[in-house]
Amino acid sequence: MRIEHHPILAFARGRRITFTFDGKAVEAYEGETIAAALHAAGIRVLSRTKGGRPRGLFCAIGKCSSCLMTVDGIPNVKSCVTLVQDGMRVESQRGPGKIDPGFRPRVPPSQTREAEVAIVGGGPAGLSAAKALLEQGVKPLVFDENPHPGGQLIKQTHKFFGSRAERAGTRGVAIAQELIAEVRDEVELFSGAQVLGLYEDKGRTLAVAHAGRLLLVQAEHLIVATGAEERFLLFPGNDLPGVYGAGAVQTLMNVYGIKPGERALMVGAGNVGLIVSYQLLQAGVEVAGVVEAMSEIGGYHVHAAKVRRFGVPILTCHTVVRALGTDRVEGAVIAQLGPGFQPIPGTERELIVDIVCLAVGLTPSTRLVEQAGAKMAYIGELGGRVPLHDEGMETTVPGIYVAGDCAGIGEASTAMLEGRIAALSLLARLGRKVSEELAAAQPALARLREGPFGERPRKGKEQLQSLMKEVACGKLP
Ligand SMILES: Cc1cc2nc3c(=O)[nH]c(=O)nc-3n(C[C@H](O)[C@H](O)[C@H](O)COP(=O)(O)OP(=O)(O)OC[C@H]3O[C@@H](n4cnc5c(N)ncnc54)[C@H](O)[C@@H]3O)c2cc1C
Ligand code: FES
């Protein structure tokens, strides 16, 4: 199940280690997550619900809780973002898991840190914000819950579209390495550090789970760049192991060099669905087909052409109606859609696949800003509920800024610019002279959204700005 030859990536695997899963020894490499190592060993069922339904990996970035396992006696550990260690005892659990009555966890005392600025999220938005702050001598603390920072970029093997200034033409993985290299020497970048909540306690305090202890970070200003999470689809069997979000499939293949299965059905022909289909083919996984509910392909035709060249059919006006299997995906039923997106009886077709990959859109990850009390609004064009923010990316809570996909689904290029704008606006608040830099960044962002693919976010941001004006003049509570 490990990918040994890849046309673009070379996998530098760590030291060989052994851990146990339900009492049996499993080999892994240092630097892999528990879920990735289990997938490499062919294990898909990670746990079970109280009623016995199997549970497996879905998002692979710590967002959905589908991969909870008991690790060294501690239940409900997210196995998709927890690195495997030599001698670790990993157990599947049933329902919420149990703690042995005799178990006494070793909890080290919490630590406290102070920071002028804290950034939550080490993707393109967060890292670009960090760089802009550094240019003015402000050193932020950056927290990212994934073991490898870089956000979505670390799994993008294709050359990016967008603007040259925002590194278009460079592969996503390389952009991530560049961004990290630009800040690494001067910024404290905590990876595997999940920001659990934000509290107004002796000032603004972030609670961060890091390296087995609680870190309390008192930060005067905050930039939230927490990205997005994958949308789900309703159909029977959608909870079977083997139904993955497209990002999870990418994480397994492109971060850990592990094949998610042998034959896939891709659901969604937007850019993500098309790009991930091509990446599956590059990893040696057969793609049985791509189904798209709309009458047109949503992504760039250049990506569609690459997939078609491999003989993969792209079926518009089609969807998945059922995933088949008892403990894992063994097949899927697709059907043509008629008026009202209803399946047309008699058009069902069964495919033999072990992966159903959902690429049906993203929704902003906004829990932290919501908890902070920022005013929110549902804006479909931006992917769902988003925090209202001004042109400088400041939310309705003074001193809390947002950037990137958590402020409305966009692209890495716009995420980087929004991160920069958030940092510059914050610097202006701190009294730094950055008006020239801000005056250059704002129009660059508008230019990026001028093309046909920028239309949705552009309209969404316009809607958001008019709501923000209503807040400013007291019309919106
Ligand atoms: C298949 C695919 C192809 C794409 N192709 C392109 C392209 O060609 N060009 C382009 O411009 N864009 C592309 N994009 C879009 C681009 O990758 C995203 O828009 C971009 O990564 C968003 O950046 P971000 O920093 O807002 O979020 P992310 O990249 O998602 O980063 C957010 C980070 O926040 C961290 N985080 C979240 N919550 C917490 C928490 N509570 N505590 C600590 N850390 C947290 C996460 O671990 C993550 O690392 C593509 C996306 C996909 C999925
Ligand atoms: S939280 Fe681990 S798969 Fe989603």
- First CA to last CA distance, the chain: 54
- Residue 423: which H helix or E strand, with range? helix 412-429
Examine the domain organization and report whether 64 and 159 are in the same domain.
Answer: no
Asked whether residue 146 is assigned to any structural domain, the reply reads: yes
**Residue to probe by mutation, ligand 1, list 82, 152, 160, 456, most atoms within 8 Å of CB:** 152
CATH number of 84's domain: 3.10.20.440
CA of 13 to the centre of ligand 1 (A): 24
Asked whether residue 5 is assigned to any structural domain, the reply reads: no
Asked whether residue 105 is assigned to any structural domain, the reply reads: no
Which atom belonging to ligand 2 lies closest to the Cα atom of 57?
Answer: 3
How is residue 233 annotated by DSSP? Answer: -
CATH number of 256's domain: 3.50.50.60
Examine the domain organization and report whether 345 and 377 are in the same domain.
Answer: no
Strands (E), 279-367: 286-292, 314-316, 318-324, 331-336, 349-351, 355-358, 362-364
* Of the residues 361, 382, 403, the one at which a domain ends: 361
Examine the domain organization and report whether 162 and 68 are in the same domain.
Answer: no
Examine the domain organization and report whether 268 and 336 are in the same domain.
Answer: yes
Q: Give residue ranges with CB within 6 A of ligand 2.
A: 57-60, 62-67, 78, 80
Examine the domain organization and report whether 212 and 237 are in the same domain.
Answer: no
Asked whether residue 418 is assigned to any structural domain, the reply reads: yes
Which atom belonging to ligand 2 lies closest to the Cα atom of 58?
Answer: 3
* Of the residues 300, 329, 361, the one at which a domain ends: 361
Examine the domain organization and report whether 192 and 123 are in the same domain.
Answer: yes
Which atom belonging to ligand 1 lies closest to the Cα atom of 195?
Answer: 42
Ligand with the closest atom to the CA of 402 = 1
Examine the domain organization and report whether 349 and 370 are in the same domain.
Answer: no
Examine the domain organization and report whether 141 and 211 are in the same domain.
Answer: yes
Tens of each residue's pLDDT in the chain, 477 residues: 899 889 988 888 999 999 999 999 999 999 999 999 999 999 999 999 999 999 999 999 999 999 999 999 999 999 999 999 999 999 999 999 888 888 887 778 889 999 999 999 999 999 999 999 999 999 999 999 999 999 999 999 988 876 777 787 899 999 999 999 999 999 999 999 999 999 987 779 999 999 889 999 999 999 999 999 999 999 999 999 999 999 999 999 999 999 999 999 999 999 999 999 999 999 999 999 999 999 999 998 999 999 999 999 999 999 999 999 999 999 999 999 999 999 999 999 999 999 999 999 999 999 999 999 999 999 999 999 999 999 999 999 999 999 999 999 999 999 999 999 999 999 999 999 999 999 999 999 998 888 777 889 999 999 999 999 888 777 766
Ligand with the closest atom to the CA of 363 = 1
Please give the backbone phi and psi of residue 78, each rounded to the nearest 5 degrees, phi first.
-75, 105
Ligand with the closest atom to the CA of 46 = 2
Ligand 2 atom 1 nearest Cα: 62
Domain count, the chain: 3
Distance CA 32, CA 177 (A): 18
Beta bridge partners of 96: none
Asked whether residue 350 is assigned to any structural domain, the reply reads: yes
Q: 175 lies in which domain range?
A: 111-229+363-472
* Of the residues 310, 326, 361, the one at which a domain ends: 361
Q: Give residue ranges with CB within 6 A of ligand 1.
A: 61, 120-126, 143-146, 151-153, 156, 160-162, 194-195, 225-228, 247, 271-272, 275-276, 365, 368, 404-405, 410-413, 415
Asked whether residue 99 is assigned to any structural domain, the reply reads: no
Examine the domain organization and report whether 148 and 172 are in the same domain.
Answer: yes
The three-state secondary structure class of 288 is: strand
Asked whether residue 121 is assigned to any structural domain, the reply reads: yes
In this structure, is the dihedral angle defined by the CA atoms of residues 464, 167, 172 and 77, taken in order, positive or negative?
A: negative
CB contact at 8 A, 162 and 413? yes
CB contact at 8 A, 125 and 148? no
Examine the domain organization and report whether 407 and 459 are in the same domain.
Answer: yes
CA of 239 to the centre of ligand 1 (A): 24
Distance CA 202, CA 209 (A): 19
pLDDT of residue 477: 67
Examine the domain organization and report whether 162 and 273 are in the same domain.
Answer: no
Examine the domain organization and report whether 123 and 222 are in the same domain.
Answer: yes
Q: How far is CA 90 from the centre of its chain?
A: 24
Ligand with the closest atom to the CA of 357 = 1
Asked whether residue 245 is assigned to any structural domain, the reply reads: yes
The percent helix, strand, coil of the chain (3-state, each to 5) is: 30, 30, 40
The conformational region for residue 449 under phi > 0 = left, psi -120 to 50 = alpha, else beta, is alpha
